[in-house]
Amino acid sequence: KAGVTQTPRYLIKTRGQQVTLSCSPISGHRSVSWYQQTPGQGLQFLFEYFSETQRNKGNFPGRFSGRQFSNSRSEMNVSTLELGDSALYLCASSYLAGGQETQYFGPGTRLLVL
Amino acid sequence: DQQVKQNSPSLSVQEGRISILNCDYTNSMFDYFLWYKKYPAEGPTFLISISSIKDKNEDGRFTVFLNKSAKHLSLHIVPSQPGDSAVYFCAASATGTASKLTFGTGTRLQVTL
């Protein structure tokens, strides 16, 4: 099976712009989560989508939003970009089997805000 | 407020010996725990998980121990191999699943020859 894919891998934007990141989960996985990784804050949970519905949400401002499509692909949008939004954005898909949930991460999209 | 703590930023172990990585948590609502390893420029790779109803889970060379009363978990790697050199993160969830994870700050493991 192909792994979790994220596009684009690298992105440079300027303050005030908006950005959309894309994530394709592993085939058959219905849950997609997004995380932000920065040197100062580490890995932080943004939100999780399951069957096109947001199931969990982290403590990020409303400028961060997401959605999931019927094929489980997910997009994350950040509006009015700030310098502090520069980070590695990771997407993960998961499935439950044998009572154990396993979560697989993509390679991430590195966003630089100038 | 760091709810999941990995107090050792780095660890060096000889090849063939046991590596023990530790993680402490403060939130008593956490009920599912996972370990990941991460190489530079890659996403974290899932290693092993444990539910709060268990105190041990094994998968090959990896064993995770959970001590709920101490709010402590550890990852044992036996035997350690040079390919195990990476940053290891523990993560915890209060949802009973691998959702809404709170990650520790990571421990860099170096396995030497």
Contact B49 A100 (CB under 8 A): yes
CA distance B16 to chain A (A): 28
The rounded percent of chain A whose pLDDT value lies above 70 is 97
B97 falls in which pLDDT band (50, 70, 90)? confident
Among A49, A69, A50, which Cα is nearest to A58's?
Answer: A49
Least trusted range by pLDDT, from A22-26, A28-32, B11-15: A28-32
Contact A103 B106 (CB under 8 A): no
Contact A42 B44 (CB under 8 A): no
Q: Are A66 and A76 in contact (CB under 8 A)?
A: yes
Does A71 score more than 80 pLDDT?
Answer: yes
Contact B100 A45 (CB under 8 A): yes
Q: What is the pLDDT at residue B87? A: 96
CA distance B49 to chain A (A): 8
